[in-house]
Structure 1
C-alpha cells in the first residue's frame, strides 16, 4: 500500500489551528485515517467501500 501524500481535514475541525479532528486521504482502493493532533503516529486504513458506507451511516444518524 502506498503512503498518502494529500490529507484532508473536516470543516468541523474546531477553532484555532483546526487540530481537533481526524484527517483522511484517498488511496487507490482504501481510505487512510489519522489523528490531526499526532499526524506522525499510526494511520488506519479501510476499504474505500466500507469507509463510504460508514460516513453515509453517520450522515443518516445526524438527520
Structure 2
C-alpha cells in the first residue's frame, strides 16, 4: 500500500450512535489528524499528531 494509512472518519465507542451528537476523528498516518462535529461534517479542524496526543492525555 502506497502513501499514508487513512482510518476514515470514526466515532468513539462511547458515542451514542442513535443521534448525531458526536465528535468524529480521522487519523492519517504521518499527517495531522482531523476532528469534526457529526452535526456539521463540512467544518472541522486539523491538529498535528503530537497535539492530538497531548489533548487525549490532558482529558484522561
TM-score normalized by the length of structure 1: 0.70
Question: Does residue 22 in structure 1 map to residue 23 in structure 2?
Answer: yes
Q: Which runs of 5+ in 1 are unaligned?
A: none
Aligned residue number for residue 3 of structure 2: none
Aligned residue number for residue 9 of structure 1: 11
Q: Which of 34, 37, 40 is equivalent to 1:35?
A: 37
Q: Which runs of 5+ in 2 are unaligned?
A: 1-5
- Cα RMSD for the two superposed structures: 1.9
TM-score normalized by the length of structure 2: 0.73
Q: How many pairs are equivalent?
A: 54
For 2:14 and 2:7, the matched residues in 1 are separated by: 21
Aligned residue number for residue 57 of structure 2: 56
Does the residue aligned with 1:16 lie in a helix, a strand or coil? coil
Which runs of 4 or more aligned residues in structure 1 lie more than 2 Å from their structure 2 counterparts after TM superposition?
none
